[in-house]
Amino acid sequence: MLDSEASGVAAVATSSVKSAMVTDSTTNASIPMAASNSKDFAKKKRVNRSAKLKQCKLDARREQWLSQVKNKGGFGDSSGHPPCSESHSSMENLEVKPRVEKEGGSIYHHYSDSDSASNSPTSHTSSVSGSSNVSGTIFTGSGGSSSSSGGSCSGSITGEDEDDDGCLDDWEAVADALAVTNVKQEQDKLSFDNRRVVPSVSPPELKPEERVEGNVQKGPPNCRAWKPDDAFRPQTLPNLAKQLSFPMKSGRQYGCAWGCKNVVSVPSTCPICCEDLDYTDSRFLPCSCGFRLCLFCHKRILEDDGRCPGCRKQYDYEPIKGEATIDGGSLTFKLGRSCSMIIRS
């Protein structure tokens, strides 16, 4: 458990860092998708650098979360998200979210959303949650408190500490689920989430908030930019990288090897008569030594002494029969087998 938790914490750290990074970049960059994608790569590098620092923070957060759980008891998990220390307003927002989202989605998503809002770290779920968070903030924004929405957004960055607990639990569950579920399905879910988010963003209510706070915009672009990356990132990304990298390497190697083998093993011309080998000739392997020659030269040799030019062994006469009269050859083979059977029996 300790190891798994540690690894989970590390993954969460990287993902959370990425989420933070994404928000930053998106704030700077505005909406464009391509730009966000390109920035994500750079962000990943940054994430690696700061990953260690993030782990330390996560450890601290987890301690905080444990203490909170002790204090708050069961409250943490079910409504869990509330653990946010920021304010009741955020709690109210969260309560609003479930109602809104129940219309479009399931309650489970709300939990993930709340988790994601705080935890964004988990890859797929985080992206989903991020989208939900955005919607949540939007709705809350519509509810009236732009400050509260801004608080939630900023909370995703700074307030992660308190919410991480739920994230960790969810993260482990999610990790297990991810291992089982197909990446495509996850991506589909993400795309659906994005669709949900997009309309929510479009409402005119949001625009004032966006103008007031760049953070609000971060959500939707993040979701879009993230989802591809998120889906790939924690677990699937390495897999995809492997799939991309290994096939490339192996393909090149095998390609070279095969090419060389073909060139070596199958001469382009008959070594006896120097005529080009056609398809039938190149498939014709009369001797176990591997010496190839065209059918004409083979027939000529059989008329002579019938020895393989490569190893001087006598050619087997079976291939001759097979060539000359297939039917006769098969018949003779069958007879031979039956005879052998009789002898054995």
Partner 1 sequence: MVDFARVQKELQECNKDIDVSGISIKLKGDSNSLTHLTGTIPGPLATPYEGGNFNIDIVLPDGYPFEPPRMQFATKVWHPNISSQSGAICLDILKDQWSPALTLKTALLSVQALLSAPEPDDPQDAVVAQQYLRDYQTFAATARYWTETFARTSTLGIEDKVKKLVEMGFPEALVRSTLESVGGDENMALEKLCSG
**How far is the C-alpha of 149 from the C-alpha of 63, rounded, in Å?**
27
The distance of closest approach from Cβ of residue 300 to partner 1 in the complex, given in angstroms and rounded to an integer, is: 6
Tokens of 306: 């019938």
**Per-residue contact track with partner 1, 310 to 339, x per CB under 8 A?**
x-x---------------------------
The distance of closest approach from Cβ of residue 301 to partner 1 in the complex, given in angstroms and rounded to an integer, is: 7
Nearer to partner 1, 309 or 329 (CB): 309
Nearer to partner 1, 310 or 329 (CB): 310
The distance of closest approach from Cβ of residue 297 to partner 1 in the complex, given in angstroms and rounded to an integer, is: 7
- CA distances to 296, 320, 328 from 303, in Å: 11, 11, 19
The count of other CB atoms within 10 Å of the CB of residue 6 is: 13
Nearer to partner 1, 75 or 296 (CB): 296
Q: Convert 127-180 into a string of H (helix), E (strand) and C (coil).
A: HHHHHHHHHHHHHHHHHCCHHHHHHHHHHHHCCHHHHHHHHHHHHHHHHHHHHH
The distance of closest approach from Cβ of residue 263 to partner 1 in the complex, given in angstroms and rounded to an integer, is: 18
- CA distances to 89, 119, 218 from 215, in Å: 18, 16, 5
The distance of closest approach from Cβ of residue 308 to partner 1 in the complex, given in angstroms and rounded to an integer, is: 8
Nearer to partner 1, 59 or 276 (CB): 276
In the window 291-310, what residues touch partner 1 (CB under 8 A)? 291, 297, 300-301, 304, 307, 309-310
User: Is 271 one of the binding residues for partner 1 (CB under 8 A)?
Assistant: yes
Tokens of 9: 């914490």
What backbone torsions phi and psi does residue 198 show, to the nearest 5 degrees? -55, -55
**Among 29, 157, 240, 272, interactor with partner 1 by CB under 8 A:** 272
The distance of closest approach from Cβ of residue 312 to partner 1 in the complex, given in angstroms and rounded to an integer, is: 6
Q: By CB neighbour count within 10 A (0-12 exposed, 13-18 middle, 19+ buried), where does 320 fall?
A: middle
Nearer to partner 1, 29 or 301 (CB): 301
**How far is the C-alpha of 224 from the C-alpha of 164, rounded, in Å?**
23
Contact set with partner 1 (CB under 8 A): 271-275, 291, 297, 300-301, 304, 307, 309-310, 312
